[in-house]
Structure 1
């Protein structure tokens, strides 16, 4: 469906580049491979149950509905056919379980694709997978019948007809217009029982899938236990699944370390703080604890200091000594249990960006947007997040692909690197000058510049704001949250990623956070609307605590902001305030300090997670914001609505599709359209790269860094973990046979 929005995060391992692309290939290689403890199938034990943490029990099992999420896609990958899946480079490859071949066999007068199906491929009711299923899915998703409540029909609306080929195992798909991204279609493929009628599509597949065709089938959904139970499909024709069951169990982000410790889950995406905690458990050699004072008389101050240093938040330590000792005791017990768990790390196919709202205010001027871009040191921002986690701090150079994908090329040169003088020249050209007169504020009128909050904000009250670079007491900035609590100490996290998912319509994610989801490897980035509010990695202490050693502190800000027409150049930087937002906050503070150097004042405003997307990003109520997009193997289709020029509607409103920066050009739209209709893969790739260069030049969004993927996994769980680009192979997942060993791969040491 629609490309998934993700508010994201941090975490992954530095590894050598994968081989596979020539030096001439601008696509390069993925910056990090998947980390799944790979072993041959003969080393995997038969049987067992994999308990896999998800954010929530999916609202629907139909990935083509608006409220589908990362869990929906994960289930579809395990139980339904996909004609194509992603390889380690994030590129689509034919899935041999379902296809013998699929190729364009005619281009004139119309494009025709011939699918030759695996002769063993059958639905769980014994019926062959065939043309009738392709036809039913096309008719449901073509957009011609509004009775089907679909979230996406891109590509299906270009199909003219579908016919049986020379045999029952052949399907001929004829397009009314050329469609370059035809490999994105029929992945997943639902049976005609689901797609055949609007009622079956809209309601029949929300809570059950009676007919499936994968290594697993949906056994049951237990909302009381928050479980989705998948069991082996007895009619599966491929290599049999090693596991008896996969149980997708809903666990909140801030409960996942405890769930891994007590064995209620075996596999879980986690935040940076939990990853550090698991690593600490595996490194711990001694047994020294704050509970070992003489006669158990350790002072409450020492207990609190130790707890804060080990990730407890300020609320957890504001309890009595007895309760605090119990909490520390439980923490230490969990640390012992976490020695059976390890962290697997890779990079998600998702990047974090700085979004600039170009619909109103100073940022409506392209020169101001470009000045913001030229003020940023993107390498420093990447280091801020990635270096402490062991990742290569390589800024993302494309809006439309990531390193390793065919369409990737670093087009950031279209706008240029950090250059404060150039940024100031652009601002001056736009009429913003230092020391200009400011209009006197009238009584009862809100100040034109950033407002300085000095009062606590009660729960449910106004958003909290603070100005980076200004200090009232010489002891640091003031950071007021919407929850009435000051910031700067050790905070609890969770993962927003994570992920709160959405469909590009304000739904609440992965979401960065982070998704996934985007990043689930299902082939087209989007596909359900999966908006992650992802964990950004927790840190305690002063802002910028994630900065690697040797990073220079920002220089003193120039005196006085820029002004124009009596108003200062002030921007509102909106961020989520919930658990897991610490890394976003740290990145925002550093960005604000960089902007301050060129005379742009940024006010950081914290809003609730629930309102962040719906009431601010989608509604256009922000100047600057941080959120992320997954990359796609099919950018001409999936990325077009993200960068399409907003179009006025008949009722006076403006249709922005998923372009929440409101910045677009006719030329970019034309390049997307051309890329979507050419069947020459090299030409399509070049058109996408040209579109990306023009998106950079318009400066509506600035890609920063690729999102890391951290996964806590039971040490004896193999062929599962941080999957990176690649689609998971569900039938190979399982637990290592007794006595067998996992050989460390060269890149994991």
Structure 2
């Protein structure tokens, strides 16, 4: 799993849901009719080419983050490279298309359907007559049964990361012949298409020893267009070679070498030919764009523009010249970045504070910050469980409400947080330094006028060290009446956020010098020259002697620049409503383990994938935490530690129904209630930036679609690729997906 939390679906959600009473939640929003079909915001961009245009042979060198610790996607330390290997060398009964929908893979599966529902659900798989493992044995019921037993959760000797779906199977048996597999479920399971993808041979799944250790460093038996030749940790390579027993369209490439290259070195590796394909960061994407522009620039006029001059200067160095042979492919990943709020302890255990934070965010501005400079659709994500283009997608953010500074302030006032409240001194210490500094600045205002306002930004870096984590969190009351309550307490509120100030924030400025200044009402902006507010309204929000300052954890690595920029922008938005943030940069390799998973944060940014099976894959991310037998709290993947009985129940219902329309509506209802709990706020779909050598085709920004490895290759001499963003090749192999 990367620092931003995106991992392969097979690893758990990238991977793992009784009503306690009637809760007051806002009316459900975004649950459109069955006829509504959303479209992906961005399509595939893979330089498509028909197979006859592709040369036979060649080695494609593909940059990855690391040589995987395991080749078994069902183990906890599997990563994105593990999944990439599995896609190329193992069977999958279903793969996703460009719209994020599961499609039968005809190379392995002739048909699959539910043949009985009473008394129990039965699915009958009919396998391809040509489908064989690399050792010549037919793919059959024995492999399905071995994978079910290994992943069912019934035998603790298997070190599995997940058993979702497999734990609902009662038995797996041979059908009418060796090519039929009959799977009987003990409980109905809506997402049965998610199973047996990938499918490992019984050689791997048959015993706990072979599962735990046998497939970590090698896969001796495979069944895809490629096979695993070797894993060379010294050279940092995973070498895949063409499978001679593959029965589908033969792979065009001789080899695919997955080579570990750090993010900071990828531009150099692309330029010098070390790799042909690499996922790159926005900074390297810009270098590639400038290099291509500079190569095509002629000296029409002296210097032309400053931008052209800069591009030409860059082209003079060797790296820039090498990058001129690279093409940038752009799309959106099937994953979104969210702001996570840790509800395990105060002040975020209070739902009103969480909702205030969410209402303070301008999600459209954050999407523009990240996506607009890349030329990608800058739309905020409206669902925790699906993305535009997927059947379950609907904008459920109305359950929480749009950005509203005044309402955010009212929620905070209702929770007892007031401006300029007295702050307690720590034992044996002076008052919190930032607050003390702010008070001095306030005193100086009477003598120095405008100079004093700068001190107000330092809300104080003292953190609430309170702890507590009992796993009992429910959606609270709606917002109705909070504004009236706040007014009764005598709070004065401004008219809301100012549009001009928002645009200034987009330019990376706190305020225009002397043109917009904090006025007397929280959330409002007064013209230049307005008198400073009275001391009672100054300073950070405080309650019980403590300032409202939150620990905001972000990764420090070179590839995390975008997350840090987003964190800074969020910090400014929260500052407008009186919430202070203490941004802490931590090493990438400890970001998840030592901070997110362990709960050592108040606010954090990381990403989740949106899969074709949200009821299965998203359930552990939003399940209500429950006490474990040893007294600890079992949070599964719910790192915000906020959950509700209603959400759990809706997931359970969605997993049980075999009516696809009903399942979709239940998923949408669950999403609306997740929005209402305000423990995680989806921000934007992640950009997908793939740098690919110009002679390489059917490789790039795949979006939702599963790559077709046998169609990848180098253009024949004199051939050209199709239009960028078009469909993959029309070969039988590609169309089967």
Q: TM-score with structure 1 length normalisation?
A: 0.78
Is contact 1:449-1:568 (8 Å) kept?
A: no
1:156 aligns with 2:166: yes
Which residue of 6, 11, 27 corresponds with 2:4?
6
The 2-side partners of 1:127 and 1:602 are apart by 60
Q: Paired residue for 1:376?
A: 361
Which structure 2 residues correspond to residues 174-573 of structure 1 after superposition, within 5 A? 174-284=184-294, 332-444=317-429, 447=432, 547=506, 556-557=517-518, 558=522, 559-573=538-552
Which structure has the bigger radius of gyration?
Answer: 2
Structure 1 unaligned segments of length 5 or more: list them. 10-21, 290-304, 312-327, 454-469, 479-542
Q: 1:449 to 1:569 in 2, by over 3 A?
A: farther
Structure 2 unaligned segments of length 5 or more: list them. 8-31, 300-305, 439-449, 459-501, 523-537, 728-737
The 2-side partners of 1:136 and 1:259 are apart by 42
1:617 aligns with 2:596: yes
Q: Paired residue for 1:105?
A: 115
Is contact 1:228-1:248 (8 Å) kept?
A: yes
Cα deviation code 1:696-717 (max 9, x no counterpart): 0000000000000001100010
Q: Paired residue for 1:706?
A: 685
The 2-side partners of 1:330 and 1:363 are apart by 50
1:562 Cα deviation after fit = 1.6
1:676 aligns with 2:661: no
SS state at 2:386 partner: coil
Cα deviation code 1:327-357 (max 9, x no counterpart): x999711211111111011100110101111
Which residue of 568, 578, 590 corresponds with 1:599?
578
Q: 1:544 to 1:260 in 2, by over 3 A?
A: farther
The 2-side partners of 1:643 and 1:77 are apart by 28
The 2-side partners of 1:310 and 1:600 are apart by 42
Is contact 2:147-2:200 (8 Å) kept?
A: yes
Q: Paired residue for 2:46?
A: 36
Is contact 2:456-2:540 (8 Å) kept?
A: no
Q: Paired residue for 2:636?
A: 657
Is contact 1:26-1:409 (8 Å) kept?
A: no
The 2-side partners of 1:114 and 1:642 are apart by 31
Q: Paired residue for 2:616?
A: 637
SS state at 1:397 partner: coil
Cα deviation code 1:618-640 (max 9, x no counterpart): 11111111111111111111111
The 2-side partners of 1:607 and 1:422 are apart by 33
Q: TM-score with structure 2 length normalisation?
A: 0.79
1:213 Cα deviation after fit = 0.5
Which residue of 708, 717, 735 corresponds with 2:696?
717
1:24 Cα deviation after fit = 6.9
1:56 Cα deviation after fit = 1.0
The 1-side partners of 2:374 and 2:590 are apart by 30
1:743 Cα deviation after fit = 3.2
Q: 1:23 to 1:112 in 2, by over 3 A?
A: closer
Q: 1:632 to 1:349 in 2, by over 3 A?
A: same
Is contact 2:56-2:252 (8 Å) kept?
A: yes
Deviates more, 1:552-561 or 1:692-701: 552-561
1:661 Cα deviation after fit = 0.6
SS state at 1:62 partner: coil
Is contact 1:388-1:548 (8 Å) kept?
A: no
The 2-side partners of 1:472 and 1:192 are apart by 72
Is contact 1:383-1:548 (8 Å) kept?
A: no
Is contact 1:82-1:188 (8 Å) kept?
A: yes
SS state at 1:72 partner: helix
Deviates more, 1:49-58 or 1:24-33: 24-33
Count of matched residue pairs: 623
Q: CA RMSD in A?
A: 3.3
1:58 Cα deviation after fit = 1.1
1:240 Cα deviation after fit = 0.5
Q: Paired residue for 1:300?
A: none
The 1-side partners of 2:153 and 2:213 are apart by 18
Q: Paired residue for 2:480?
A: none
Is contact 2:290-2:311 (8 Å) kept?
A: no
The 2-side partners of 1:621 and 1:450 are apart by 24
Q: Paired residue for 1:294?
A: none
Is contact 1:471-1:477 (8 Å) kept?
A: no
The 2-side partners of 1:574 and 1:472 are apart by 29
Q: Paired residue for 2:143?
A: 133
Is contact 1:450-1:570 (8 Å) kept?
A: no
Q: 1:379 to 1:79 in 2, by over 3 A?
A: same
Q: 1:682 to 1:448 in 2, by over 3 A?
A: farther
Cα deviation code 1:233-276 (max 9, x no counterpart): 11111011111111111111111111111111110101111111
Q: 1:555 to 1:68 in 2, by over 3 A?
A: farther
The 1-side partners of 2:725 and 2:194 are apart by 33
Cα deviation code 1:133-177 (max 9, x no counterpart): 001111111111111111111111111011111111110000011
Q: 1:548 to 1:438 in 2, by over 3 A?
A: closer
The 2-side partners of 1:471 and 1:728 are apart by 58
Cα deviation code 1:434-466 (max 9, x no counterpart): 22222234324783978999xxxxxxxxxxxxx
1:560 Cα deviation after fit = 2.0
Is contact 1:570-1:602 (8 Å) kept?
A: yes
The 2-side partners of 1:651 and 1:256 are apart by 45
SS state at 1:363 partner: coil
SS state at 1:263 partner: coil
SS state at 1:219 partner: strand
The 1-side partners of 2:92 and 2:399 are apart by 37
The 2-side partners of 1:693 and 1:136 are apart by 38
The 2-side partners of 1:439 and 1:596 are apart by 21
SS state at 1:364 partner: coil
1:610 Cα deviation after fit = 2.5
SS state at 1:96 partner: coil
1:574 Cα deviation after fit = 1.3
1:4 Cα deviation after fit = 8.2
Cα deviation code 1:705-735 (max 9, x no counterpart): 0000001100010001111100000000001
